[in-house]
Homo-oligomer: A and B are copies of this chain.
Amino acid sequence: MNLSEKVLQGDIRSTARLMRLVDDDFTVAIEEMKKLYKHTGKARIIGITGSPGAGKSTLVNQIIRNYREKGRKVGVVAIDPTSPFSGGAILGDRVRMDRHFEDENVFIRSIATRGHLGGLSKSTGEMIRVLEAWGADPVIVETVGVGQAEVDVVKMAQTSIVVMVPGQGDEVQAIKAGIMEIADIFVVNKSDKQGADRTVNDINMVLDLAMPLGEDPWRPKVLKAVAYRNEGIDEITDAVSQHKQWLIRNDKMVGRQRLRAELQFFALLYDKFKHATTNLLNSDIFNDWEEKLVNHQFDPYSLAEELENMLLKTGD
């Protein structure tokens, strides 16, 4: 039996092996990934984002537990450099997986955020596919912040959760223009702290103003939780289910799946561009190109044109 077949049968060692292969020798891994592809695309992908210190990791732990109690296999892709899940990849620590460490039905994969254009999206897209093939449903993608790379990653999810804490109402006010794009569900975590209701109200007020017209619009849920006491977790997974039903009812599910496939494809393609560029720049003809740029011996525009002509068939 080949590697991809073993992954599809839920073998956890083969799954870990394929993930390493994706990282270390993608040209070999790609043949397995091609075979897996047609068996994927149906799992629910949940994006969870929020500032450092919002308690995302504890919340993710509780959400995992909740899905485990429902008998589901859970995959996690942790790309938050501040998360204990992915912290290992950055800090050189051991990955801490707390309560799920011994559970064969939970698979947590951390991704280092260092790297260049497209690298993060590529790894994330591939890891989601592998986890899905292994049988995970949901796959949770945990990330931080609101940067473009993170937004691209969160777009791979069908349902996005933004975790906030009491007192962050200002931030919601500040981002009100894009608020409907950012989250399908807001969770005000640490809501045993002062100001939780105020933050919930602030978010709701902005949502009132931002709600689109139409027959069956999705109004983002605003939920309170105290993750470390396991309070409010059922409400979160319920909201995820409701959002999924809404997507299906409004024929939006295919659109989200398509967007994920597109993002994955572009990430793969840009990775190829990056390799070709790096190889060319490392060759003798481009000796000291960085120095020559900063010394004004040539300019970045002409250099980019030269690379284009040497790399692209559509060039000269």
| A residues in contact (CB < 8 Å) with B | 30, 33-34, 37-38, 41, 51-53, 81-82, 87, 90-91, 113, 115, 117-118, 120, 144-152, 167-168, 170-171, 173-175, 177-178, 254, 257-258, 261-262, 264-266, 268-270, 272-273, 276-277, 279, 290-291, 293-294, 296, 299-304, 307-308, 310-314
Contacts and interface: CB of A to CB of B under 8 A. Distances in A.
Given A34-B302, A273-B273, 20 more contacts: A33-B299, A38-B299, A41-B296, A81-B175, A81-B178, A82-B174, A120-B148, A145-B145, A147-B150, A148-B149, A148-B150, A254-B294, A258-B290, A258-B293, A262-B293, A265-B300, A265-B303, A268-B300, A268-B301, A276-B314
Contacts of A313: 310-313
A270 B268 contact: no
A298 to B, nearest CB: 9
Instruction: In the A-B complex, list the 6 residue pairs whose CB atoms are closest, starting with the nearest.
Output: A147-B147, A53-B170, A148-B149, A52-B174, A265-B300, A37-B299
A123 to B, nearest CB: 12
A296 B38 contact: yes
Contacts of A174: 52-53, 82
A208 B302 CA distance: 45
Contacts of A87: 177
28 contacts: A33-B299, A34-B299, A38-B296, A52-B174, A82-B174, A90-B178, A113-B148, A115-B148, A117-B118, A117-B266, A117-B270, A147-B147, A147-B148, A147-B151, A258-B290, A258-B291, A258-B294, A265-B303, A268-B300, A269-B304, A269-B307, A269-B308, A270-B270, A310-B313, A311-B312, A311-B313, A311-B314, A312-B312
Number of this chain's copies in the assembly equals 2
Contacts of A175: 52, 81-82
